[in-house]
Chains A and B, each alone.
Chain A
Amino acid sequence: DGGITQSPKYLFRKEGQNVTLSCEQNLNHDAMYWYRQDPGQGLRLIYYSQIVNDFQKGDIAEGYSVSREKKESFPLTVTSAQKNPTAFYLCASSTPPRGSYNEQFFGPGTRLTVL
Chain B
Amino acid sequence: SQQGEEDPQALSIQEGENATMNCSYKTSINNLQWYRQNSGRGLVHLILIRSNEREKHSGRLRVTLDTSKKSSSLLITASRAADTASYFCATDVLGTGRRALTFGSGTRLQVQP
Contact = CB atoms under 8 A, between A and B. Distances in A.
A42 B84 CA distance: 17
A96 interface: yes
Interface in B73-113: 88, 90, 92, 98-106, 108
Contact of A106 (B43, B100, B108): B43
A97 B45 CA distance: 15
B42 A103 contact: no
Given A101-B31, A103-B33, A103-B48, A109 B42 contact: yes
A63 interface: no
Interface in A74-111: 88, 90, 92, 96-97, 100-109, 111
B41 interface: yes
B30 A105 contact: no
Given A42-B106, A97-B30, A107 B42 contact: yes
Contacts of A43: 43, 88, 103
A50 B98 CA distance: 10
**How extensive is the interface on chain A, given as a class?**
20 to 34
**How extensive is the interface on chain B, given as a class?**
20 to 34
Interface string A30-48: 0101010000111111001
Given A58-B100, A97-B30, A102 B92 contact: yes
Contacts of B33: 103
B59 interface: no
B57 to A, nearest CB: 17
B88 A108 contact: no
B100 A108 contact: no
A41 B40 CA distance: 12
Interface string B49-82: 0110000000000000000000000000000000
Given A33-B100, A100-B51, A106 B92 contact: no
Interface of B: 2, 4, 30-31, 33, 35, 40-45, 48, 50-51, 88, 90, 92, 98-106, 108
6 closest Cβ contacts across the A-B interface? A106-B42, A100-B30, A42-B105, A43-B103, A106-B43, A42-B103
